[in-house]
A = this chain, B = another copy of it.
Amino acid sequence: MPEQAINADEVVGAALDLLDDVGLHGFTMRALAQRLGTYPATIYWHVGSRGEVLSAASARVLDSVFADLPDPTSTPWDAWLDAFARGYRRQMQSHPAIAAWGVTHFEARVPAPDDLEIIVGVFARAGFHGEALALAYNMFLGSLIGWVGVELIADDPELGSDPEQMEGSVRALDADDYPTIVANLDHLANHAIAFRWQGGIANPLDAAFDFAVATWIAGLRAQLASRSG
């Protein structure tokens, strides 16, 4: 039995390395093949198309989120959701290209039923059942995945948008025309969606993420109270 020169796991690992190095835009079947010292067709043999390689890389990152989480049965539901949200964001910060691809490709593959059972189980123990469970699950997962995807926009969009010019246009807003923006500009400039001139890796919105997670959980608590009341 001679060792194989290459296998699917190696392809996925190299894909993640390449994504981290060059981003989604530079992630090319040809570049991936070159990094593995082989030919594009070899990748098709072991894993499949570009989309399938990205899907496999995304699955590996998502799985690693669950490696570091507290025990879901002995942890209060709100503390567990908080830890899950932070773990998810941390992994996406390590692989921003996966975050960008994932937001729009979180398809219906039941990629890891074990992980999904854990999440669904936490909502059940929180007191959500039947339709309310599905609603709470969708609210939290959609908000989390989506929010992090929005936060982690690339520093360099493909546009030629100049950060300095952008900063200038934010700071030049007239107080007569835009009173509320100008009154709160110190807290908005480079710290709020659509007011930023840096991406979410160079400029993470840490306080905003803390507030968002707390607000999602506070909202769920209010929903539980109104349903049992």
Partner-B contacts on A (CB < 8 A): 49-52, 55, 100, 103-111, 113-114, 116-117, 120-121, 124, 129-131, 133-139, 141-143, 145-151, 153-154, 157-161, 163, 166, 169-170, 173, 177-181, 183-184, 187-188, 190-198, 205, 207-208, 211-212, 214-223
Contacts and interface: CB of A to CB of B under 8 A. Distances in A.
Contacts of A124: 180, 183-184
Contacts of A137: 188, 192-193
Given A50-B158, A124-B184, A145-B150, 18 more contacts: A105-B153, A108-B170, A110-B194, A117-B179, A131-B207, A134-B187, A134-B188, A134-B191, A138-B211, A138-B212, A139-B147, A139-B212, A143-B143, A145-B146, A146-B146, A214-B219, A215-B219, A218-B223
Nearest to A122: B180
Nearest to A159: B51
B150 A103 contact: yes
A207 B136 CA distance: 11
Contacts of A218: 218-219, 222-223
A10 to B, nearest CB: 21
A49 B150 contact: no
Contact of A117 (B105, B161, B177, B205): B177
**Most B Cβ at <10 Å: residue of A153, A173, A184:** A184
A22 to B, nearest CB: 16
Given A50-B158, A145-B193, A181 B130 contact: no
A134 B212 contact: no
A64 to B, nearest CB: 17
A93 to B, nearest CB: 15
Given A51-B157, A208-B134, A215-B223, A141 B193 contact: yes
Contact of A207 (B135, B197, B220): B135
Nearest to A186: B130
Interface-central residue, A50, A100, A138, by most chain B CB under 10 Å? A138
A149 B104 contact: yes
10 contacts: A108-B190, A110-B169, A121-B180, A130-B184, A134-B208, A135-B212, A143-B212, A145-B193, A146-B150, A214-B219
